[in-house]
Amino acid sequence: MYVLIAYQPSRIGGPYAEVGPVFVHAEPCPGWTGDGYPPGNVHRCQLLRAYDDVGNQVDKVVAEPGRSDDEIRRLLARPEVAFLHSRNVLAGCFMFAITREPAGP
């Protein structure tokens, strides 16, 4: 079961700190924890927006189906990129955030 909520994807502010509707699982869910881009989204074109650590957008790219992993790696390799958002290409709706893996001990 899913519920519809108002969500602000970025809590750090900046000009892109909008609030919008998203569907979420009604029960606790760990989210995608596997390797690579979520299999349920691989077939989609996705807008990947890259943000710096104060919430400014520093780049964006439309990843063609099957190319999201490569584009994510390329964007996260840039030192000024703190996190990414995967969004719907046509409407720009937020799908999920992408962050770097935490550094090991």
Q: Where are the domains of the chain?
A: 40-98
Gap between the Cα atoms of 49 and 63, Å rounded:
10
Give the pLDDT confidence score for residue 5 in this predicted structure. 84
Quick one: pLDDT at residue 96? Answer: 87
pLDDT per residue as tens digits for the range 74-93: 999 999 999 999 998 988 88
Q: pTM of the entire structure? A: 0.80
Mean pLDDT in residue range 36-49: 88
